[in-house]
Chain A
Amino acid sequence: KQEVTQIPAALSVPEGENLVLNCSFTDSAIYNLQWFRQDPGKGLTSLLLIQSSQREQTSGRLNASLDKSSGRSTLYIAASQPGDSATYLCGVWGAQKLVFGQGTRLTINP
């Protein structure tokens, strides 16, 4: 059974810093991995999708990497802004379904 872990559970940094969020998974037989953002009381917004054959994906200030062999993914946020404050969730696609980590609650302090 796939298990997904995100560390840290919460992170608070000053505005402007670069930061890394971590995601690890136990079963390397994945289809792809998806990073989401969730604002309080809202649904999830997809940020980046990395297919199993890819090593990384970039969108603006976000860069996600995938290392299947070690069961790890990272989400790198450059030049953080207060608007980046949210919970970030990692989801790993297995056969037909997505298994989530518990998320990292990120706070960017002005």
Chain B
Amino acid sequence: DVKVTQSSRYLVKRTGEKVFLECVQDMDHENMFWYRQDPGLGLRLIYFSYDVKMKEKGDIPEGYSVSREKKERFSLILESASTNQTSMYLCASSSFEDLLSGANVLTFGAGSRLTVL
């Protein structure tokens, strides 16, 4: 089974700190995604990447950046954390082959709950 691992389940940071959220998948998937989930707003796509060193903005990229230096790792960066970035962050991956075949199955990590004070 595909495993998507998010390194931190719970983080507490202060306003203005730089925050790194790490995600690693072990199935050689090309596509990786970062979502945030908030009550009443559902899951919203922040950034995605379909190859190493490639990145695409999602629906809410403001205040975030990403890094994909290796295929298995996709990092979400909050350059200067703010209280409105308190949220659950979910990483996911899928394969390009599945996307082409129309059988794309997104596999999620367990989530990282970030609190910014």
Contacts and interface: CB of A to CB of B under 8 A. Distances in A.
B99 A43 contact: no
Contacts, number: 63
B7 to A, nearest CB: 14
Contacts of A103: 42
Interface residues of A, number: 25
B94 to A, nearest CB: 9
B74 to A, nearest CB: 14
A34 B90 contact: no
B105 A96 contact: no
A12 to B, nearest CB: 18
A100 interface: yes
Contacts of B90: 43-44
Interface of A: 31-32, 34, 36, 41-46, 49, 51-53, 89, 91, 93, 96-103
